[in-house]
Amino acid sequence: MQHSAGSPVRFRQLGPDDKDVVTQLANDGFHGNSFYMKALGLDARRFQLYWHAFFDLTLADPAAAVFGLERNGELQAAVAVAFDGFPKTSRAARYLWTLCRQLATGAFLRYLRFLRVYERAMKLPAGERRVEARGLWLFVKRDVGQRGLGSHLVKCAVEAVRARGKLLVTGFFDASNRPLEQFYRRLHFTVTPPFPFAGMQAARIELRLARMEVKSDAQGHAA
Ligand SMILES: CC(C)(COP(=O)(O)OP(=O)(O)OC[C@H]1O[C@@H](n2cnc3c(N)ncnc32)[C@H](O)[C@@H]1OP(=O)(O)O)[C@@H](O)C(=O)NCCC(=O)NCCS
């Protein structure tokens, strides 16, 4: 793998102490990304405020996980994943209140509209929701892109959520971005047909996981 050519990368789950560094990385990774700026209705400055509030929420909520890849102690890629029960109601209220105070009213209302349409697009039956790991955001530091970090992180994160008993990994992306679609297909995700989203085209991705095989000693000997 290309990423292993340099010094080794370390995969780990991030915690509240990583908030500043992951916020900065998200700002870098999504810098100038017109799809998400338009979808969420946020300009570059408000997107920064959004990342702060978002990582305040996800790094502290047990029903979410932010995984990262570090090289030489530097965080270079991260993915935020949500599980059933995210966000906890009290945290969600604080999160929305923070955004309401920090974004202008029009931007806040546009963001609420995004959330409603996004939730509708991602909705699953309750049984599937219980085993779902929903990828919220994936990003790689721009100057180390195209070196396999994004793929490696997705593979590590998939194993981490499988270990947590999750059997379905889902996500949402800009369907007009062909390289991104190829990126997910190469990782064995299925991709839905595109659907209209905030005047653009979006699509859902899905990856169904097999349960972890737990071999008892007896089975091991018998095999
Ligand atoms: C998408 C992304 C995570 C890929 O990370 P990466 O480390 O560059 O990916 P890898 O090196 O493992 O794989 C490379 C593949 O990713 C895709 N890719 C690379 N740059 C991309 C970009 N700017 N946008 C979309 N896909 C891209 C291509 O399919 C590429 O394959 P190729 O080398 O054959 O062209 C990274 O480009 C990124 O952070 N993009 C901005 C944020 C974003 O769009 N995130 C995804 C939606 S939440």
The residue to mutate among 40, 140, 172, having the most atoms of ligand 1 within 8 angstroms of its beta carbon, is 140
The predicted structure's pLDDT at residue 167: 97
Nearest to 43 by CA among 52, 51, 34: 34
**Which residue pairs, CB below 8 angstroms and at least 24 apart, start in 33-40?**
35/174, 35/176, 35/177, 35/200, 36/174, 38/198, 38/199, 38/200, 39/114, 39/118, 39/197, 39/198, 39/200, 39/202, 40/110, 40/111, 40/114
Ligand 1 pocket test: which of 176, 180, 184, 186 has the largest number of ligand atoms within 8 Å of its C-beta? Answer: 180
Q: In this structure, are residues 13 and 159 in contact, taking their beta carbons and an 8 Å threshold?
A: no
The answer to whether the beta carbons of residues 179 and 198 sit under 8 Å apart is no
- Full set of structural domains in the chain with CATH: 9-208 (3.40.630.30)
pLDDT band at 220 (very low <50, low <70, confident <90, very high): very low
> pTM value?
0.93
Expressed in angstroms and rounded, the spacing between residue 207 Cα and the centre of ligand 1 is 18
* Mean pLDDT computed over 51-64: 96
- What's the first-to-final CA gap in the chain, in angstroms? 32
Average pLDDT on 59-71 reads 97
Q: Quick check: CB of 139 below 6 Å from ligand 1?
A: yes
> d(Cα 17, Cα 30) in Å, to the nearest integer?
21
Does residue 57 have a pLDDT over 60? Answer: yes
179 lines ligand 1 (CB under 6 A): yes
Report phi then psi at 41, rounded to 5.
75, 30
Q: Is the CB of 173 under 6 A from ligand 1?
A: yes
Going by C-alpha positions, the residue among 57, 77, 55 that lies closest to residue 67 is 77
